[in-house]
Amino acid sequence: MALPLALDVAVTHLLGRKRQTVVSVLGVALGVGFFIAVAALMQGFQTYFRQTIIDVSPHVIVSDEFREPPVQPVESAYRGGAVDLRGLRPEDERRGIRDSRAIIDAIDRIPGAEVAATLSGQVVLRFGGTDEAATLIGIEPDREARVTTLAQDIEAGSLERLETTANGILLGRQLADTLGATLGDSLIAVTPAGVTRRVTVEGIFHTGIETLDSNVAYTLLKRAQVMQDRINVVNQIRLRLDDPNRAPEVAQRTEARFGYKAESWQETNQNIFQIFTIQNAIMYSIVGAILVVAAFGIFNVISTVIFEKTRDIAILKSIGLTEGDIRRIFLIEGLIAGMIGALLGWAVGYGLTEVLASIRFDFSADPEENRFHLDYSLLHYAIGGGFACAAAGLAAWLPARRAAKLNPVEIVRGAA
Amino acid sequence: MAPVLEARDVVRVLPGEVPVTLVAGITLSIGAGEFVAITGPSGSGKSSLLYLLGLLDRPTEGAVLVEGRDTGDLSAAEMARLRLEKLGFVFQFHFLLPEFSALANVLIPMRKLGRFGDAEMRDRALALLGRLGLEDQAHKRPDQLSGGQRQRVAIARALANDPKVVLADEPTGNLDTKNAQIVFDIFSGLARDSGTTVVTVTHDEHLAAQATRRVHLVDGRLVDGAAG
């Protein structure tokens, strides 16, 4: 007689409707299971994606742009609208970041920050009969290595060889494949400035980010400046921070101080993160819908039990059980179904996640890209279980309230 | 000494488009150890009066007193507590919980009351079943018992918490003559030997004659037996 009375009666009711109970419990289990698996998949993908961005790209990019068009001197001279200015032609400024040395020195003093300056511009690479437009980025190899993962991403050749060879260039793997070029090949590079140079492939890199691998070539900063005919000009300053989460703050400070647009990685990838938010909302809606359906199952079982057990309810009330006692009995029934469903759902979720983890694709040579990235988070189990119990409790509460209000006299009269 | 159960000018009207008067002003006082039979034609308000006396229903007017205490201002939960401690019900149909054994059914009121330990509750329940000649049936489920046995289990359950009053609504309506007599013998014994008040509704004149007092109702009014 270890069970309390309400629990004893509740368990008896559920055992009396085994099949229906099992079905509704399975409904909850599937809802929770799918939630856990899908959450692991999506969270895992998002975390992997985020981590890749954090690893590969700079955390803050200061570029030679301004968020607001610069105020022309004549506009500030005649502010207030007394004179209407028309046909104003802004001064044709040379593009690039002025005082880039001062900015780099200032950032170098921020603790936990690494900084590298680059000049990027367009180039056409020609090898054999193939022409490919690419972005040619001039870098300082030692600084670049500290700001991006370029050094680790080199598959063939090396970053240092840029400095030791005249006219060395690094190609993204897909770009190299498109051109048909391999290590040591000699290419012709043509810039919009009209400079044509012969360059040698000193390295091939693979970041895993398609736009980089198919579109970017690196060379020494000095060489890029000569090729673009922009001596001493830098158009991007890139930062890497020990703590990537500080990026927005550092970007804001840099921008406030120097005026140039400084974009954090969060801002650069804002669109993607917004998509993640939408993805998560869709996931929670779908799983919510599954659990609502499951909750209807529980609602159904408990309503049926109450309908069948009106006489029992009348007896229990005549014996002296209160409305609260009756409500508790049916609430417990719902919670039992919810909890068993949640426990089973955890097992289903774990199983599904394992299945997902074992799946391999044939997308690329990189094994990291040929599998799902899963995030095994206990939080997902807690959310799934909590949601299931809450849904089950609510589904039970509604009929339980009705059961508690049943008038024993009416039932006894009806039966007699 | 205050009467165990008392009704003072009790009226019960079922509300509706055409209100139905079930009990039309009854004053009744029942003392300890009395065995009262409420009789009357169908629709005379016998059962309605019993439910009012048993705190299952509330009067539209008037008052019901249990051991001298007015129950009019009690909450639903307080009424339930009073039923649990002082009253026991037996209905026409046995009304046992079908999945529970005879023993488990008898244990329900004690478990709710929570006054005794597990072992003591079990001993008391078995003793009660024994007193009603059911010692061998304790572990059977209601569907394995005969109609008479089920009604005796129901009586045992009504007696589980040593109630002051047992209220029975046509307890023999579904039984053969022999079993009906057994039930009435039990009631007589309860009133005589343990001082438990028994109030039963019946339309069986022969059985009603065995009660120590008869209350006759017609159209929701007492026509006989108001005095104790």
Residue A297 DSSP class: H
Give domain status of residue A87, yes or no.
no
Nearest Cβ partner for A1 among B81, B96, B118: B118
* A313 & A405 share domain: yes
Q: Are A238 and A293 within one domain? A: no
Domain that holds residue A131: 66-71+93-260
**One domain for residues A183 and A237:** yes
A406 and A324 assigned to the same domain: yes
Q: What is the identity of the amino acid at A213? A: D
Dist CA B193 CA A144 (whole Å): 103
Nearest neighbour of B99 by CB, restricted to A16, A319, A324: A16
Judge if A316 and A389 occupy the same domain. Answer: yes
Q: Say which of A1, A315, A320 has its CB closest to residue B84.
A: A320
* Final residue in a domain of this structure, among A223, A240, A260: A260
Per-residue burial over A317-327, b if 16 or more Cβ lie within 10 Å, else e, is bbbbbbbebbb
Tell me: the pLDDT tens digits for A74-119?
777 776 666 777 777 776 666 788 778 888 888 888 888 888 888 9
Q: Report the percent of chain A where pLDDT is more than 70.
A: 95
Within a domain: A116: yes
Residue A153: inside a domain: yes
Alpha-carbon gap, residue A316 to A144, rounded angstroms: 78
Q: Are residues A307 and A372 in the same domain?
A: yes
Q: Assess whether A279 and A245 both reside in one domain.
A: no
Q: Which of B42-46, B90-94, B222-226 has the highest mean pLDDT?
A: B42-46
Q: Say if residue A111 is in the same domain as residue A216.
A: yes
Report the pLDDT averaged over residues B221-228: 69
Residues of B in contact with A413 (CB under 8 A): 47
A389's tokens: 């119990």
Give CA torsion, residues A209, A210, A214, A219, to 10 deg: -10
In whole angstroms, give the CA distance from residue B155 to residue B166: 8
Q: What is the DSSP letter of A83?
A: S
Between strands B5-14 and A60-63, the pairing is unpaired
Assess if residue A187 is contained within a domain: yes
**Structural domain includes residue A266:** no
- Please state, in angstroms and rounded to a whole number, the distance separating the CA atoms of residues A156 and A200: 13
Inter-residue contact B4 to B198 (CB < 8 Å)? no
Where are the extended beta strands (E) located within chain B? 5-14, 20-30, 35-39, 61-66, 69-70, 87-90, 165-169, 197-201, 213-218, 221-224
Question: Within this chain, do residues A33 and A176 fall inside the same structural domain, yes or no?
Answer: no
Is there a contact between B51 and A409 if contact means CB atoms under 8 Å apart?
Answer: yes
- The DSSP output letter for A368 is G
Q: What are the backbone dihedrals phi and psi of residue B43, each rounded to the nearest 5 degrees, phi first?
A: 80, 10
Number of domains in chain A: 2
In a domain, A60, yes or no: no
CB contact under 8 Å between B93 and A416, yes or no, is yes
Q: Which residue of A has its CA nearest to B49?
A: A409
Average pLDDT (A130-147) is 89
pLDDT score for A415: 58
Q: Which residues 6+ apart lie within 8 Å of A143 measured at CB?
A: A114, A115, A116, A117
What's the mean per-residue pLDDT of chain A? 86
**What pLDDT shows up at residue B226?**
57
Residue A216 counted as domain residue: yes
Are A248 and A291 part of one and the same domain? no
State the pTM of this model.
0.73
Q: Confirm whether A295 is domain-assigned.
A: yes
Which of A66, A152, A113 shows the shortest CA–CA distance to A238?
A113
**Are residues A192 and A113 part of one domain?**
yes
Task: Provide the pLDDT confidence category of residue B94 given band limits of 50, 70 and 90.
Answer: low
Residues A371 and A401 both lie in one domain: yes
Which of A228, A260, A292 is where one domain is finished?
A260
pLDDT of residue B228: 47
Pick from A260, A291, A324: which residue ends a domain?
Answer: A260
